[in-house]
Amino acid sequence: MLPDVSGLTVGVLGGTGPQGRGLAYRLARAGQRIVVGSRNAERGITAAAELAELPGAAAGEVSGGDNAAAASCDIVIAALPYEGHAETLTALRGELAGRILVDCVNPLGFDQRGPHAVAVPEGSAAEQAATLLPDTRVTAAFHHVSAVLLTDPAVSSVDTDVLVLGDDRPAAETVQALASRITGVRGVFAGRLRNAGQVEALTANLIAINRRYKAHAGIRITDV
Amino acid sequence: MLPDVSGLTVGVLGGTGPQGRGLAYRLARAGQRIVVGSRNAERGITAAAELAELPGAAAGEVSGGDNAAAASCDIVIAALPYEGHAETLTALRGELAGRILVDCVNPLGFDQRGPHAVAVPEGSAAEQAATLLPDTRVTAAFHHVSAVLLTDPAVSSVDTDVLVLGDDRPAAETVQALASRITGVRGVFAGRLRNAGQVEALTANLIAINRRYKAHAGIRITDV
């Protein structure tokens, strides 16, 4: 029994990048109210206007602004590059106080042998967020969902589970409910934040799988 | 197109533990020739005799012995506790030279908050094996398969994918083929050994999922 999240607003930090844009689009299609955030308010507004015209997006309500506007929503998705992660969150500490943050950052590096995990001093991007934002309800989710599938209007169902991590159980359940709003997606609770590092890093394996099999791989948890 | 591995012998180091026993049983049911290894040869022989009497095991051929006997097979599965991993492999360096090793060790710790990943100096148990065994074709696989399901004769199909990692592509494909011999299982190539750490650690998340949902969770890769 997950909570009803249909009335909650969702802000997306870094909403002009592929992952943030894709999640904003899918959640708008699911009927959610979305604020697309960007470092530059103009870019957020433009991205929101483009998103709102995509097939099905009118089921929700999409507006745009700067990251501070996105950080003032009920649920805030951090779809940031790892490089700007700590700095952006620190600057938004006030706006994010008391809110649910969904960290979906994958700290990865790439070289001639492909993708690999990058060590994070705090253990994971999610734990870094929790350290920087002691007054925010930090969760982690949406690491493995293919941006290509999310942003393709022709894809009617994104058939994957979303692993949701968090030490704040009601916050994690809220995020599970949000993920499950996306057609095809199921939000599965997958442990505490201290076990977020391997979930973030597993994205490197999914990229390796994509390269080997020419796929947009996702994950399903069996027997749940 | 994976190779035909039906004629290869499979040794299991630590074959008397739950994971090793379960894999030995499933592979015997699939028709494979198995050597159940143990630190103590008598215990290996006894475990093999017990296994051979389980429903369906007669499809294969099961014998037992010490770990050195198991390490002399074509494919050697290391189903060891992480505590004894380095020491056991180092002692078997001679026997393992030139063979394919399948490391399925999960370096995990448990406390009152549940399971968590344990840091391995080499990055992962699999990379530790590769460092200790420079003449062995080291792969990693079978981390997430539930020992409970593997060992239950009433379970006719183990519906999960097995992520196979390795830098030696033919060795990895051989292990994919071996995994795929188990009814319900599909062996999926999931990257190089340097990306094994998060696959091993993900077992902590699956245990958290099992606790939350009263399940024996496994993983399926979608779109492959």
pLDDT digits (tens, 9 = 90+) for B150-190: 999 999 999 999 999 999 999 999 999 999 999 999 999 99
pLDDT at residue B98 above 90?
yes
pLDDT given for residue A191 in this prediction: 98
User: B59-85, pLDDT tens digit by residue?
Assistant: 999 999 999 999 999 999 999 999 999
What value, to the nearest 5°, has the Cα angle with vertex A213 and ends A209 and B223? 80
Residue A78: beta bridge partners?
A13, A103
d(CA B169, CA A114): 15
User: B103-122, pLDDT tens digit by residue?
Assistant: 999 999 999 999 999 999 99
Query: Residue B214 — pLDDT band, cuts 50, 70, 90?
Result: very high
Chain B: closest CA distance from residue A165 (Å): 9
Chain B residues whose CB is inside 8 A of the A221 CB are 206, 209, 217-220
8 A C-beta contact, residue B88 and residue B17: no
Q: Do A222 and B114 touch (CB under 8 A)?
A: no
How large is the ipTM?
A: 0.96
pLDDT at residue A1 above 90?
no
Taking residues B10-20, report their average pLDDT: 96
d(CA A209, CA A219): 11
8 A C-beta contact, residue B43 and residue B67: no
DSSP letter assigned to residue B62:
E
pLDDT at residue B1 above 90?
no
Per domain, the residue ranges of chain B are: 9-213
Taking residues A80-108, report their average pLDDT: 97
* pLDDT-above-70 percentage for chain A: 100
Chain B: closest CA distance from residue A181 (Å): 19
Q: Do B160 and A188 touch (CB under 8 A)?
A: no
Q: Do B222 and A218 touch (CB under 8 A)?
A: yes
Residue B114 is inside which H or E element, if any?
strand B114-117
pLDDT at residue A109 above 90?
yes
- Which residue does chain B place closest to A115, by CA atoms? B195
- Quote the tokens at residue B193: 């050994």
pLDDT given for residue A163 in this prediction: 98
Taking residues A62-81, report their average pLDDT: 98
Chain A: closest CA distance from residue B223 (Å): 5
Taking residues A113-125, report their average pLDDT: 95
d(CA A79, CA A70): 11
Mean pLDDT of all residues belonging to chain B = 97
pLDDT given for residue A76 in this prediction: 98
d(CA A12, CA A16): 9
User: B36-49, pLDDT tens digit by residue?
Assistant: 999 999 999 999 99
pLDDT at residue B136 above 90?
yes
Residue type, A134: P
Q: Any chain B CB within 8 A of the CB of A107? A: no
8 A C-beta contact, residue A74 and residue A99: yes
Q: Do B199 and A194 touch (CB under 8 A)?
A: no
What homologous superfamily is domain A9-213 in, according to CATH?
Answer: NAD(P)-binding Rossmann-like Domain (3.40.50.720)
pTM of the entire structure? 0.97
Chain A residues whose CB is inside 8 A of the B198 CB are 117, 197-202, 204-205
Q: Any chain A CB within 8 A of the CB of B119? A: no
